[in-house]
Structure 1
Amino acid sequence: MRTRPSAVLGAWVIALTASISIAHAQDGIDAARGFLQNGQPDRALAAAEQWIASHPTDAEARFVRAVALAELGRRAEAIAAFSKLTEDFPNQPEPYNNLAVLYAQQRDYDAARKALEQAIRTHPSYATAHANLADLYARLANEAYERALQLDAGREAKRPPATQPPLALIRTLGPTAPAPLAVAQQMPLASQSSSPAAAPRPSPNAVNPAVNAPAQPAPRATADSAGPKPAAKPVPAQTASEPPSAPTVTPPAPAAPSTTANEEVLAAVRAWADAWSAKDVTAYLAAYDKTFEVPGGRTRAAWEQERRQRVSKPGEIRVTVEDPQIEIDGDRAQVRFRQHYRSLNFNASTSKVLELVRRGQRWQITQEKVVR
């Protein structure tokens, strides 16, 4: 372990994928991110709070605000902000990670450990949380050794130098590099849409296809038989007082959605993500149905204008869909998946649900929402 002075306890290793000039920052949340990454947490805080005033449910803006509070040394407010994010977005590992950093800075290692374990339960492949947990255990081991020396003051022993491994504070809502679980994006389609096969239909050569025929007695032996066979047991004749029982008709099993329908829905979702990644605004907006429920009570025109600005902004964008789960009911479909968004100055992973409707040969989005 590397030796660091105790003053380094509060130091944070910042996880960044790239730096961005403030000249490229745009208004709103983009400006807040730009200020934060250029070492201006005070201006980042002001920009984030201004954006949150009109977008109170924006998880990205609230996360940037919490990071700015932490970097300004307003620890209690930062802890409250990250704690609220874990309540509202419990599937996001980054707020748990940053809570652990702040708890460790206060030497509340038990709370830090619990926060990191929750981050890992939320996203088992989250490398930063695993690294922070290892560093935290190193701190706990060092403190345990210090306590042992204090209890055994009469023993002559040379204690090893104190170690203060840093914990990494995350600035972006989402892992800084694609996580190993992203391999699930290439999961075979058959495993995504597999379903129990429909019950086989009776053969058309049956004597009476409308009912289940009773079992037939064994065939009589003939001269061509390979050998003597036991005689079939006689079937007792029915009497007039015993009417034949009503035949049992088994209702057919409901038909499962066809593999073709699943493929069409998945293709529509991937085309939507690809258009977003390619900044093809026309194709991206065309993926939304005319009945699409615009979030926030805005008009369709206002929403489209905002999406045009954000999708077409400078810099590379990459949007990928992980582990899609598809449910189809007639001309309606629902797709649950993990969305990974990557850009020059922002990374985020969210759980999302798309509702789609079939329009002729196309599936189009009628509702888009982030879920916990």
Structure 2
Amino acid sequence: MLTPRIFALLLLGMSYLPVAHADNLKEIVQLANSGQATQALERLDTHIRANPKDAQAIFTRGVILAEVGKRDEAIKSFVSVTEMHPNLPEPYNNLAVLYADQGQYDKAKKALETAIKTHPSYATAHENLGDVYARQASEAYDKALQLDNSNSRAQNKLSMIKGLFNGSYKPVIVGNKEQKPAEPAAKPAETAKPAEPAATPTPAAPAADSADPAVVAAVNAWAAAWASQNVDGYLASYASSFKTPKGEARSDWENLRRERISKPAKISVDLSNIKVKMDGDKARVSFQQSYRGGGLAQRTSKTLFMVNSGGKWLIEQEIADN
């Protein structure tokens, strides 16, 4: 799932929240904007202890916590705001973003439906709800391809959905522009378009019409197994004649791959600009690969040399250009 990133942090102009400490909150948010999130959170905690009903401050705390990666604590903050103001859509939307980032799509869907129920015209929640449905559908098609990588129907449906879904949910942040109090929903600020953190790859159609679609399906199945940390499925994508990157023994290479794939809590692998060059029962597949996992984010140009072995397209050689 995408990890939403929050850039600008200024005071959210909501008329229903206390304004007596607005200047103090603005200073705290400016600290966060300047990269001093720890100091900002310390001041916020002090402020909230003195003003435990200040939903503005608690909402701001949730935003900063989400930005620094403390998502469980951020969730608690947004839940607190929903308990104080159950008819506000913004906290529910941000809860949905965090739930979706954790792969908890049912919770994300419920939170978004609540946001829409409170404010049916809240466009951001409607868009995010559509993205949640798209992600669930894409994972189902990915699973179908893992079980049968020659399923062209699932491949076509997956490609269509991935073309519509960019994997980026929109959190409502402490906005960088003053918003009109009369508006029912806060206008979201720009969010990043990072590589999709969900455990599914982003497939693309081959460049040449003459390319065997089973080649692209095999590449996407390989990436899907990697992203879902299905190590056995991942290793099964390599031919018995596979040339290990450094000439090491196949068993040593497999052991290293098992360790690296299994270790991160979550992996995302996105493929784009796939190009296929066919040569009989061999194929050369090049693409851009975006990898995120275990604190590492890397974009790589990669080429797979594949062979049709027993009706299956398998990887004989893998070359990465970092």
- TM-score of the two chains, using structure 1 as the length reference: 0.40
Q: Which protein shows a greater Rg?
A: 1
- TM-score of the two chains, using structure 2 as the length reference: 0.45
